[in-house]
């Protein structure tokens, strides 16, 4: 390719990736599949690598870039980043309304959610993101540009109709789901969980290494001008609409109101929905829409007089800690749990709340018998906010973490640098039950008949002492097993056969699933995939040179370009597992059972097939399931895409396809064909080859035999 042509291709790819990032991360309307996206992204990476002369910091490949910082540079805010005066009652809002009415005439209110995150100022020059800074003390904040660039919904560049120089302000937040996952991960690895999404967000933005930040589920909403580039807007609402057009995420809900009564109604409506957003809201912000009034309204030391925050009363309920029990997790971590007198909170009855770890119980000084305030922390999980000391009568007891495992009686240890206390007996029945459940879970070996109750029964009856015992179970005994609860007998019966089929099918599952199933701390689904990609078979994992290399490389602090995706903690954990007596025993048992899972091979596609290399998009109403066509196309060597791109050869149009779609496709050089023509093109490869086993519904997929 000519240099000019390469440049054009790079620009085209950047624009397409940006557009798709925006559709995915900002508008939640993905238009293409992962495979197509990855293909574009990888092509761009390769071109940029081969042509460093076209480097651009605003390229979507450059979100995570730069070395870890020693500290953050300071940024001066001009104008300062103000705060907001807060009101807690409608009475205070009436006073606000009186003041506004006395000062200006012909105004409109806007009610917006008050997002509980970390305020951020974003500066664009020449329509490129040049700086992101935290509020700090309002005058000077931290330059966290490297970190904020990793947030996929933050545009790195703006469209041509945006001002050259623009500063916008908003709130970075951690999604509620992301927060729950992050905390689960932290607890699993013995770390300290965050108290709420806001703290988790603030903590993430303070990390000095953007690579770590990139893995945190952060997002942003912009809601204000930063004083540069927004003068032309008469109304705040118009400005927000423009932000949205320029690709910024804005609040998904806002209401325009004429009177203070309408404002109250909007606040109530928002209050009713407060748990439905991806972010936490701790109130509503009432603003004047007409920006021409801002000057005369002025500001207090706290914040502008054209806006007020209204804080919702926290949702809390009083109850009593009846006892504190200790739960044992899959990796042996002991977690104290408060058993509460049942109480209603935000629409559900709560009778338990995790206390995370002994340190936290001591820090919060929560005693058995205490009256406590229960709150919906992060509006997701109920948590004890505080104990009500005034209600103590002296009968309360201080909780002490057991020094032996409450289930198996074995010793517990607290590892250095961890807050968690662990039971270290791998044969502990409680651990075993949770491990067995994990072993059988969907992303592991997917043994559906082995739900929580059955796992408990198998362990209680001594039928399973290790997950691998599943492979030597006596299925007749199992069929006759009583798995009933509370004195109501129930035979396991036919489920035994389902379980046996699933267990047999599990033998043929790929390495990544098995590695995840083992349940090594720090080895989740993705990590297991990354590690499996570098190993042929399960038996290669013990003492693996690849994993050693990862660990040693880190110990040398060699900032060599990372060639493998494998994380150090994970590599270390896997090595430690196989070096432990339990791990070594597990590996030996696998061998005995003749199970040695192999790396998943990409399914063979025919490079010589009738559709070899042809991009295909399926659209409209088709006479067969889309997945069926997709499979047929792939077997014929075609590539199924989610949307038409310049690399699409055929658009397979079923019924009810709009003309715009087909015209757009033709303009890109794509051939528009119908189902009949597709079948013609597929020819014989549409039918299964004569020697292939006929697929039979309901049974497990045949295990692929040894190829060599």
In the complex, the residues that contact ligand IVH under the rule CB under 6 A are 82-84, 112, 114-115, 119, 171, 223-224, 285, 303-304, 307, 309
How far apart CA 10 and CA 25 sit, in angstroms, is 22
SS3 581: helix
CA pair distance 262, 685, nearest whole angstrom: 65
**Cβ closest to ligand IVH, residue 135 vs residue 422:** 135
**Residue number with CB closer to ligand IVH (135 or 149):** 135
CA–CA gap between residue 310 and residue 90 (Å, rounded): 8
The least distance separating ligand IVH from the CB of residue 624, rounded to whole angstroms, comes to 49
Pick 60 or 304: Cβ nearer ligand IVH: 304
The least distance separating ligand IVH from the CB of residue 171, rounded to whole angstroms, comes to 5
Strand partners, 86: 309
Relative to beta strand 118-125, strand 128-134 is: antiparallel
Residues 6+ apart with CB under 8 A from 580: none
* Shortest distance, position 287 Cβ to ligand IVH, whole Å: 7
Q: Which is nearer to ligand IVH, 14 or 114 (CB)?
A: 114
Task: Kindly state the smallest distance separating residue 206's Cβ from ligand IVH, in Å.
Answer: 17
Answer yes or no: are the C-beta atoms of 373 and 386 closer than 8 Å.
yes
- How far apart CA 125 and CA 585 sit, in angstroms, is 61
Cα 189 → chain centroid = 17
Query: Residue 171: beta bridge partners?
Result: 119, 221
Give the nearest residue (CB) to ligand IVH: 119
706 contact partners, CB below 8 Å, separation of at least 6: none
Cα–Cα distance between 379 and 281 in angstroms, integer?
A: 9
Element (H, E) at 639: strand 639-641
Cβ of residue 237: shortest distance to ligand IVH, in angstroms?
A: 12
Backbone angles phi, psi at 465, to 5 degrees: -110, -10
Nearer to ligand IVH, 84 or 139 (CB): 84
3-state secondary structure of 704: coil
Nearest to 522 by CA among 216, 181, 185: 185
631 is catalytic: no
Minimum distance of ligand IVH from residue 198's CB (angstroms): 11
Do the Cβ atoms of 314 and 345 come closer than 8 Å? no
Residue 636: C-alpha distances to residues 561, 603, 622, 675 (Å): 38, 12, 19, 15
**Minimum distance from residue 116 beta carbon to ligand IVH (Å):** 7
- How many whole angstroms separate alpha carbon 550 and alpha carbon 541? 13
Q: Which is nearer to ligand IVH, 116 or 530 (CB)?
A: 116
Choice among 114, 152, 376, 567 that is catalytic = 114
Nearer to ligand IVH, 254 or 449 (CB): 254
Residue 328 near residue 334 (C-beta atoms within 8 A): yes
DSSP letter string over 411-435? BEEE-TT-S-EEE--TT-HHHHHHH
Our CB check for ligand IVH shows the closer of 121 and 319 to be 121
Q: Give the nearest distance from C-beta 309 to ligand IVH in angstroms.
A: 5
Residues designated as active site: 114
């Amino acid at each position: 390719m000519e240099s000019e042509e390469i440049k054009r291709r790079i620009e085209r790819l950047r624009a397409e990736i940006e557009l798709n990032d925006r559709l995915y991360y900002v508008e939640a309307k993905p238009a293409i599949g992962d495979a197509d996206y990855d293909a574009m992204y990888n092509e761009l990476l390769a071109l940029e690598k081969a042509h460093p002369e076209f480097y651009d910091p605003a390229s979507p490949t450059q979100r995570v870039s730069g070395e870890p910082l020693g500290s953050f540079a300071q940024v001066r805010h001009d104008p300062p980043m103000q705060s907001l005066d807060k009101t807690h009652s409608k009475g205070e809002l009436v006073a606000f309304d009186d003041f506004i009415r006395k000062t200006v005439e012909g105004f409109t209110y806007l009610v917006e959610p008050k997002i509980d995150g970390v305020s951020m100022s974003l500066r664009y020059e020449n329509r490129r993101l040049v700086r992101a800074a935290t509020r700090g003390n309002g005058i000077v904040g931290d330059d966290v540009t490297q970190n904020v660039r990793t947030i996929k919904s933050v545009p790195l560049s703006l469209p041509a109709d945006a001002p050259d120089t623009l500063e916008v302000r908003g709130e970075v937040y951690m999604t509620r789901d992301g927060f729950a996952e992050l905390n689960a991960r932290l607890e699993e690895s013995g770390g300290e969980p965050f108290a709420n999404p806001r703290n988790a967000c603030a903590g993430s933005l303070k990390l000095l290494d953007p690579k770590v930040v990139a893995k945190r589920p952060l997002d942003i909403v912009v809601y204000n001008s930063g004083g540069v580039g927004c003068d032309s807007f008469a109304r705040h609402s118009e400005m927000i609409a423009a932000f949205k057009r320029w690709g910024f995420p804005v609040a998904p809900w806002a209401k325009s109101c004429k009177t203070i009564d309408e404002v109250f109604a909007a606040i109530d409506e928002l209050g009713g929905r407060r748990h439905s957003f991806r972010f936490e809201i701790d109130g509503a912000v009432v603003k004047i829409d007409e920006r021409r009034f801002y000057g005369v309204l002025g500001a207090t030391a706290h914040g502008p007089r054209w806006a007020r925050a209204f804080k919702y009363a926290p949702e809390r309920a009083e109850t009593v800690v009846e006892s504190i029990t200790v739960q044992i997790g899959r990796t042996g971590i002991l977690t104290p749990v408060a058993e509460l007198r049942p109480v209603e909170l935000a629409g559900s009855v709560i009778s338990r709340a995790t206390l995370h770890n002994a340190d936290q119980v001591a820090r919060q000084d929560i005693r058995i018998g205490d009256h406590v305030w229960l709150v919906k922390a992060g509006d997701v999980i109920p948590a004890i906010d505080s104990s009500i000391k005034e209600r103590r009568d002296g009968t309360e007891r201080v909780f002490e973490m057991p020094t032996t495992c409450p289930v198996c009686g074995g010793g517990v240890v607290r590892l250095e640098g961890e807050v968690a206390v662990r039971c270290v007996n791998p044969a502990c029945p409680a651990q075993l039950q949770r491990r067995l459940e994990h072993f059988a879970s969907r992303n592991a070996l997917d043994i559906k008949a082995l739900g929580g109750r059955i796992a408990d029964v198998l362990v209680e009856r001594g039928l399973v002492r290790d997950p691998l015992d599943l492979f030597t179970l006596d299925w007749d005994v199992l069929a006759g097993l009583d798995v009933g609860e509370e004195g109501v007998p129930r035979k396991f019966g036919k489920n035994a056969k389902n379980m046996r089929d699933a267990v047999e099918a599990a033998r043929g599952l790929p390495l990544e699933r098995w590695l995840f199933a083992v349940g090594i701390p720090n080895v989740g689904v993705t990590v297991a995939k990354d590690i499996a990609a570098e190993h042929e078979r399960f038996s290669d994992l013990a003492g693996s040179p690849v994993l050693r290399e990862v660990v040693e490389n880190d110990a040398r602090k060699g900032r060599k370009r990372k060639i493998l995706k494998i994380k150090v903690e994970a590599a270390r954990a896997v090595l430690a597992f196989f070096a432990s007596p339990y791990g070594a025993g597990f590996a030996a048992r696998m061998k005995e059972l003749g199970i040695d899972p192999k790396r998943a091979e990409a399914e063979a596609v025919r490079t010589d097939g009738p559709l070899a290399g042809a991009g295909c998009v399926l659209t409209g109403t088709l006479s067969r399931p889309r997945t069926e066509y997709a499979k047929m196309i792939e077997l014929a060597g075609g590539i199924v895409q989610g949307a038409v791109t310049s690399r699409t050869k055929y658009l397979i149009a079923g019924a009810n396809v709009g003309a715009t779609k087909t015209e757009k496709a033709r303009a890109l050089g794509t051939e528009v064909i119908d189902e009949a023509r597709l079948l013609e093109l597929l020819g014989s490869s549409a039918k299964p080859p004569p020697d292939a086993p006929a697929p039979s519904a309901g049974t497990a997929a045949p295990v692929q035999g040894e190829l060599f």
